[in-house]
């Protein structure tokens, strides 16, 4: 889709590129049962429809995530991850979702 837009309109503004990245992130996250993604106060929050505890456990073992992951059970299970100071929120969310996807491969 991105290539088609560039062919038709030329180089895309940063805002359009971010919208495309967000759409791809949400599509990939949906495959993992993630229903909502939010970043605020230095934390990435992922709401989970059906938590995959094996994937969550593997994420906790990754050195970059060690001690930064919190799982909350309840009516709306969630995974919260502390972001690195100054980290780009979209990049961090993308990296986290990709990491979770790799565990199922």
* CATH label of the domain that carries residue 87: 3.90.1150.50
Structural domain including 7 reads 2-102
The owner of tokens 């979209």 is 90
Cα 96-60-50 angle, rounded to 5 deg: 70
The pTM of the full predicted model, rounded to 2 decimals, is: 0.83
Between 64 and 10, name the one with better pLDDT: 64
Residue 79: band (very low, low, confident or very high) from pLDDT cuts 50, 70, 90: very high
Give mean pLDDT, residues 3-24: 82
Q: Number of folded domains in the chain?
A: 1
* In contact, 97 and 29? CB cutoff 8 Å: yes
């Amino acid at each position: 889709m991105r290539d088609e837009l560039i062919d038709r309109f030329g180089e895309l503004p940063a805002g359009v590129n971010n919208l495309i990245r967000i759409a791809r992130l949400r599509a990939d996250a949906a495959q993992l049962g993630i229903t909502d993604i939010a970043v605020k106060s230095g934390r990435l929050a992922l709401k989970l429809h059906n938590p995959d505890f094996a994937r969550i456990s593997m994420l906790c073992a990754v050195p970059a995530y060690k001690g930064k992951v919190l799982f909350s059970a309840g009516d709306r299970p969630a995974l919260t991850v502390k972001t690195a100071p100054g980290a780009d929120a979209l990049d961090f969310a993308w990296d986290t979702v990709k990491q979770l996807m790799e565990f199922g491969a």
